[in-house]
Amino acid sequence: MNASQSSRHRRVGDSPVIKWLLIGIAVAVALALLIVPLLVIFVEALGAGWGTLADNLTDQYTLHAIGLTLFVAALTVPLNLVFGTALAWLVTRFRFPGRKLLITLIDIPFAVSPVVAGLLYLLLYGRNGWVGSWLADYDMQLMFSWPGIVMVTVFVTCPFVARELIPLMQQQGSEEEEAGVVLGASGWRIFRTITLPNIKWALIYGVVLTNARAVGEFGAVSVVSGNIRGQTNTLPLHVELLYQDYNIVGAFASASLLAGIAVFTLAVKGFVEWRQTRSLNRLQTEETAQ
């Protein structure tokens, strides 16, 4: 059948020359744009040896930047985990006016440039902002300290979990949950024993993406951070600071940490996808066996 098909209409991609040319171009582009730059980070970071790398990473301010970045991620991820799940649950399991609008609104943080997001928060919560001036009367300050950084990071990363869950939950439908309701289970029980197991891997995937973005966010954080070394300097800001100081090795050392997190994220992502397919396959085998 294949032979007869190809003899009837030969397609452009069938010629081996074209095939290898396309593969070659794809590989070359991937190498030039993705792999070589990633390798350069590690090569530069190690350019002056492991000792210098260790010195750079254990610098007082670098350590603080690492700690602050992890701390911000540790607050952001749970917040968005709860928010994203609740939102996905809401828009896929209930019908109400404005549902479509809500689904569109979730994407605002993707559509808005992070710098603009940072500026919006600054203008709203800064000293002269609507909310900020009111808070200042009570001697409370959100911008230029860690709460501000957490706020913009939550904003920038909030679509990830919901975006992963919504298509999956739409596809799965609500039959199983409806069965649960008919059998008299409470809402919490339905969520824990039916919904959560179904969306587990997509949820983890969303968390991984949220975490990666929270750790790497530069634009929005740069606007609200105040760049105080040892207080509000996150790792990506620290990379820029070192670079501007001509401390290239130090900048690449910190950048290699971020790149390391990225590579780790990819590994987790690969593992999660593998588990997801495996559990799907098992499900299908069980169904056929029955």
Partner 1 sequence: MPSKLKGLLTGLALSASLFAQPALSADRELLNTSYDIARELFAAYNVHFSKYWEAKTGETLEVSQSHAGSSKQAQAIIQGLKADVATFNQVTDIDILHARGGLIPENWAERLPNNSSPYYSTMAFLVRKGNPKNIQNWDDLIKEDVALVMPNPKTSGNGRYTYLAALGYAQDRFGDDQTKIDSFLQDFLSHVKVFDSGGRGATTTFIEREIGDVLLTFESEVLNLADRYENGEYEVVTPKVSFLAEFPVTWIDEYVKQNKTEDLAKAYLEHLYSEDAQRLLAGFNYRVHNETVKQETSDRFPEVKLLPIDAIAGSWENATNEHFASGGKLDQLQRRR
Query: Interface residues with partner 1 (CB under 8 A)?
Result: 64, 67-68, 71, 74-75, 122-123, 126-129, 132, 136, 141, 143-146, 226-231, 241, 244-245
* DSSP single-letter state for residue 94: -
Shortest Cβ distance from residue 107 to partner 1 (Å)?
28
Shortest Å, Cβ 139 to partner 1: 8
Cα 38 → chain centroid: 19
Closest-CA residue to 106 (of 161, 48, 176): 161
Q: Minimum distance from CB of 120 to partner 1 (Å)? A: 12
Which residue lies nearer to partner 1 by CB, 203 or 241? Answer: 241
Whichever of 24 and 67 has its CB closer to partner 1, that residue is 67
**Smallest gap, in angstroms, from Cβ of residue 70 to partner 1?**
8
* Closest distance of CB 194 from partner 1, Å: 19
User: What's at 207, amino acid-wise?
Assistant: V
Min dist CB 40 to partner 1, Å, is 15
Which one, 171 or 244, has the nearer CB to partner 1? 244
With b for 16 or more beta-carbon neighbours within 10 A and e for fewer, the 134-168 pattern comes to ebbeeeeebbbebebbbbbbbbbbbbbbbbbbbeb
Judge whether 208 and 268 are in contact, CB under 8 Å.
yes
Closest CB to partner 1 among residues 41, 241: 241
**Tokens at residue 42, please?**
């590690």
Would you state the structure tokens that stand for residue 162, as one six-digit string?
């919901």
- Which of 159, 250 has the CB closer to partner 1? 250
Quick one: which H or E segment has residue 66? helix 60-93
* Spatial distance between the Cα atoms of 46 and 54, rounded to a whole number of angstroms: 10
Contact assessment for residue 72 and residue 214, using Cβ atoms and an 8 Å cutoff: yes
